[in-house]
Amino acid sequence: ETTGLDSKTDRIIELGVVKARYSPSARCITEVIDAHSCYEDPGKPISAEITELTGITDADVAGKRIDDAWVASLLADDPVVLAHNAKFDAGFTHRRFPVFRDKRWGCTASEIAWKALGYEGRKLEYLLMKRGWFYEGHRASIDALATLWLLHDIPEAFKDLLDSIDRRSVVVRAFGSPFGVKEQLKSRGYRWHPGDEGCNKCWWIEVDAEHLNAEKAFLEEAYLNGSALADYRWRDARSRFVDPVA
């Protein structure tokens, strides 16, 4: 849990961790090893909105700090780190705990084909409710336990997640694109990056590795030397949830 949504300005106030084992051959979760949560004083008052959402007050976190050595010990055997919206969690943990930065990450929200499995949404509460399960949300360790139970309850989802974690992807940064192809890029799924102080402005997209040649062909057809002017950054589970265009 955090004081807000911006990992650059907001802070962690509770870290919840559930450690489990899974069988790579059977592709299923086999054992829960530990579940733990701890508070951290963010150095500023917790807003009324966050307290209402999480139940965490200034008194709960006053003077407390998460033990960095304990966090490092949890990650010593190079586990796969799962989160429901890993981009959010990675942004905060990478900043507060550098030991997270080279770990493999998986996202139980975005890296599972929930729609193909018959679910219209991917919010954790919704997915569990559709399975007939209810829990106290917006508390870190409880959310982690609920996520683990969801993967146990829907084995197909866990298998899909493992496949996604293993895949490689490519961030394509389309430099030098003329204004006239903006709508063409947008319709294909490209997003605009304004750059840093006016530098490195570009349209970008992330595609699976097997689709890279098709993306190059699209850029080449879209504008002169499109594929040659583009930049390509390969990503895997250890780099997928850092800023793709930083």
Query: 68-84: per-residue pLDDT in tens?
Result: 999 999 999 999 999 99
Q: Can you give the pLDDT at residue 139? A: 85
CB distance 158 to 151 below 8 Å: yes
pLDDT attached to residue 26: 96
Q: What is the pLDDT of residues 116-174, one digit of tens each?
A: 999 999 999 999 999 999 998 778 989 999 999 999 999 999 999 999 999 999 999 99
State how far the Cα of 117 lies from the Cα of 3, in Å rounded to an integer: 34
CA 150, 124, 90, 162 torsion-angle sign: positive
- 186-199 pLDDT, tens digit each: 999 999 999 876 67
Type of residue found at 150: L
R_g over Cα of the chain: 20
Share of the chain above pLDDT 70, in %: 99
Q: Work out the number of other CB atoms within 10 angstroms of the CB of residue 170.
A: 19
For the chain, how many residues are written?
Answer: 246
- Assign 3-class secondary structure to 160-226: HHHHHHHCCEEEEEECCCCHHHHHHHHHHCCEEECCECCECCEEEEEEEHHHHHHHHHHHHHHCCCH
Q: Is the pLDDT of residue 244 over 90?
A: no
pLDDT higher than threshold 90 for residue 49? yes
Q: Is the pLDDT of residue 200 over 90?
A: no
DSSP annotation of 2 reads: B
Check whether 230 has a pLDDT greater than 70: yes
User: What was the pLDDT predicted at 195?
Assistant: 82
Range 217-234 average pLDDT: 97
